[in-house]
Structure 1
Amino acid sequence: MGSVELAGRVALVTGATSGIGAATAALLAEGGAHVLVAGRDRARGEAVVAAVREHGGKADFVAADLRSAQGARQLAREAVAVAGRVDILVNSAGIFPFGPTADAADADVDAVYDLNVKAPFYLVAALAPAMAERGHGAIVNVSTMVSEYGVAGMALYGSSKAAVNLLTKAWASEFGPSGVRVNAVEPGPTRTEGTAAMGEALDALAAQAPAGRPATAEEIAAAIGYLVSDAASFVHGAVLPVDGGRTAV
C-alpha cells in the first residue's frame, strides 16, 4: 500500500475500528497525518491506534456513536478538542443489511439512514465550515457500487448510498469555492470483517466484474488516500468507482 504525503494534517476517520476504515486510518497515518480513529468499540479502536503507533504514526481513539445527530455533533466536538482541528474527514462508518424490501422493519430503515446518510450530513455540517474558513480541507464519503444500479435485496442499502453520492456533489458545489474538496469512492465487494459472513456470495458478486475477485480493504483505502491528497487537488465532486470494473460493464 503506497503512502500519501499528509504531514501536519489531522484526519478523522469514522468506522475506523475495522475494515476499510481501519485500512484508511493506517494509510493516512503512514503519510504523516494525525489520525483520529472513530468508532463504538474502544478495544478494537485502541488496537488500531496501537498498530499505527507501532509503525511510527500518530493516532488517537475517539469514541463515537453516530446513530443520532447528537452523537455525530459530539464526535465533531471531541475531534476538535483532541487535535485542535480536522483537515480531512473520511465518512466510512456504515451498515449494509440485505434482504427483501417487504421484510425490512421500520427500525432497519431508520438505522440505515441514520448511520449511512444522516451521520455524514451532520459531520460535514459541523466540520466543513471551519475547513472553509481556513481555506483548505478534504472530505471523502464511502459509497458503494450498488448505488449505481438496481440489485434485488439491496434497495435499502443502495438507496442510502445513492443519497451519499448526491450529497457529495452538492457539498463539492457548496464548499469547493472555499478550498474544501469533497469526493466519494464506490467500493465493490471487499473482504473485511463485516463481509466475512457473506461467504461464497461475496466471490459470486465479485465474479461479475472484470477484475473477477473481491478487493482488499487496502485497495479501497488507496483510492481514499489519493482523493484526500494533494495529488487530487483538481478533483471535486467525483464519485470514483473502485469496484473492479463492475459498473463499467
Structure 2
Amino acid sequence: MNHEPTSAGQLTGKVALVTGATSGIGEAIARAYAREGAHVILTGRRAELGESVAKQIRADGARAVFLEADLTEPGAPEAVVQAAAEAFGGLDLLVNNAAAFAAGPTHTVTEDDFDRITTLNYRTPFFVTKAALPHLLTNQKSKIVNIGTLGAVKSWAGASVYNSSKAALENLTRTWAIEYGPQGVNVNVISPGIVVDAPMSATVLAQVDVEAHILPTVPARRLCTVRDVADAAIFLAGPGSDYLHGTRILLDGGLTA
C-alpha cells in the first residue's frame, strides 16, 4: 500500500511558488511542500486541474492558491510572481518545473517545436526567476529549485531540443548560485531520468521496452517516480541543503554510475 509520507514540518511558514503544478512532478512537489507546512502557490494552464489540486491541499489543512497562467506569454512571469508574493505576503521558495517535451530526430523538428520547447524550458524559468529574485533576496534565506533532466548529462536520440534546453537551465543554476548565493539564495537543480508516473514520460515509455532495455542498466532496478523528485525537492527547500549551491541532484537510480 502506498502511504503518504509523514511531515517533519521542515517548511513551516514558508511561501512557495511551483510552476507547472497541475499534474506530475509539479503537483507532487506542491503537495509535498504543503505537507511540510509551506503556503503554496500553484501555476499552470489547466485551470480545472490546478483548482482541484489547490482545493485538495486546502482540504488537508494547508494553504494553497492556484493561478492560471501561460508563462510563455509576454508579461506573464512578472504578473504571476507578483500575484504569488501578494497571496501570502512574500516569497521564500521557487520551483521552476513547467516544461515542454517533444520526441523526434533533429531533422523532423519544426521551428514551432523549437520555439515552444526552448521558450518554456529555458526562457520562462529565466524570467520567472528574474521576477522572483527581489522577493527572494529580502529574507536572506531562500531557495530556488530547478527541475532538469538526466538528458542534460547523458543524452539520447530524439530529444535534441528538450535535452539542450534543460542543459541550459542547469547552466543557469550554476550561474545563479554564483550570482545570488552570497546574498542568501540557494539555487540547485534536480535532474531525474524517466519519471514513470509523470505524464510527460508517456511518449518515451510508449516507445521503449523498459523491462528489456532500461531496467537492466539501472542499479536501483526501477524508474524514478514523482515522489522521488518531491523528496529531493523537500531536501533542497529545507535547512539540510543550506550549504548546497549550484548542485545537481541526479535522480537516475545509479544509471550513470
- Matched ranges for 1:108-127 at <5 A: 108-127=113-132
Q: What do the CA deviations read for 1:165-189 (whole angstroms, capped 9, x no partner)?
A: 1000000011100101000000111
Aligned counterpart in structure 1 of residue 35 of structure 2, from 8, 30, 37: 30
Distance of 2:202 and 2:105 partners within structure 1: 21
Q: Residue in 2 aligned with 1:222?
A: 231
Q: Residue in 2 aligned with 1:57?
A: 62
Equivalent residue letter for 1:225: I
Aligned counterpart in structure 1 of residue 246 of structure 2, from 232, 237, 241: 237
Q: Residue in 1 aligned with 2:206?
A: 199
Q: Residue in 1 aligned with 2:110?
A: 105
Aligned counterpart in structure 2 of residue 209 of structure 1, from 179, 197, 218: 218
Q: What do the CA deviations read for 1:151-210 (whole angstroms, capped 9, x no partner)?
A: 111111110000001000000011100101000000111122232343362724454322
Q: Residue in 1 aligned with 2:45?
A: 40
Equivalent residue letter for 1:199: A
Preserved CA contact (<8 Å) 1:189 1:202: no
TM, length-normalised to structure 2: 0.92
- Root-mean-square deviation (CA, aligned residues, Å) is 1.5
Aligned counterpart in structure 2 of residue 3 of structure 1, from 7, 15, 21: 7
Q: CA deviation at 1:109?
A: 0.5
Distance of 1:26 and 1:206 partners within structure 2: 28
Preserved CA contact (<8 Å) 1:69 1:119: no
- Matched ranges for 1:71-86 at <5 A: 71-86=76-91
Preserved CA contact (<8 Å) 1:195 1:202: no
* Residues 153 and 179 (structure 1), Cα distance of their counterparts in 2 relative to 1, 3 Å cut: same
Amino-acid identity (%): 38
Structure 1 spans left out of the alignment, 5+ residues? none
Distance of 1:10 and 1:123 partners within structure 2: 15
Structure 2 spans left out of the alignment, 5+ residues? none
Q: Residue in 1 aligned with 2:162?
A: 157
